[in-house]
Amino acid sequence: SWLMQRGLKFFPVVGWAERGGGNAIGHGNSVPRFHITWGTGPGVLEPFVQRVREAQKRGLISFKFRHRVNELARTGAVVTGVRGDILQPSAVERGHKSAREISGDFELHAQAVIVASGGIGANHQLVRENWPKRLGAAPKRMITGVPDHVDGRMLAIAEQAGGSIINRDRMWHYVEGIKNWAPVWTDHAIRILPGPSSLWLDARGRRLPVPLFPGFDTLATLSHI
């Protein structure tokens, strides 16, 4: 209700592609959590962007765009800030790969430091290194559902500062991906959202076995394929 009060609208069907095991007790989410929103990703962000922009106007938040963290600064055993490079300005559109030329460096300090750097999906090498053994060998060819900056580089940086990285192999890979005919980022993939009565076939034209229905259990489908 809090989100809806701020203009976010949900498609009235909840997906459960991450159940991981065919039922609620398998290796995955015990309840459906895949919500499709009107406006997709930008629609989800908009209410929060507005609030953050308002906080910026009141002097509560400062943005440091084009600042790339290379190190978590520590005082003893406590993380007290960040150090890194200032990248040259870039005018590329959202999602496109931007230049990485360095124009300077920076160091910032804070009472608390939170790392919220996203996943590893655009770093295929890191994906393969952390590929779940239960799924067999990683595919030789992959396409990418996230922009180039989702490269997982902050995981190693956090670990070097004493952070504990858990559940490295907990990844969701969706088999409904196709290559974008007009790519925005490297190896840009688009995920097809299948209807409830789709005919789901493998590369040889054979129907996938129960319960590998479209949007039902993506990891089991991936393992089967």
C-alpha to C-alpha distance for 46 and 42, rounded to whole angstroms = 6
Task: Identify whether the C-beta of residue 80 lies closer than 8 Å to the C-beta of residue 73.
Answer: yes
C-alpha to C-alpha distance for 79 and 72, rounded to whole angstroms = 6
Please state the length of the chain.
225
Q: What are the backbone angles phi and psi of residue 206, rounded to the nearest 5°? A: -95, 135
Planar angle of CA 82, 86, 87, nearest 5 degrees: 135
Sign of CA dihedral 48, 50, 51, 55: positive
Q: Which pLDDT score is estimated for 35?
A: 83
Cα→Cα distances 24→12, 51, 221, Å? 21, 36, 16
Q: Which pLDDT score is estimated for 104?
A: 98
218 burial via Cβ count (<10 Å: 0-12, 13-18, 19+): buried
Q: Which residue stretches of the chain have pLDDT < 50?
A: none
pTM for the structure as a whole = 0.84
**How confident is the model over 90-143, as pLDDT tens digits?**
999 989 999 999 999 999 999 999 999 989 999 999 999 999 888 889 989 999
Instruction: Extract the tokens encoding 152.
Output: 């997982």
Q: Which pLDDT score is estimated for 36?
A: 83
Q: Which pLDDT score is estimated for 206?
A: 93
E-strand stretches of 44-101: 67-75, 78-87
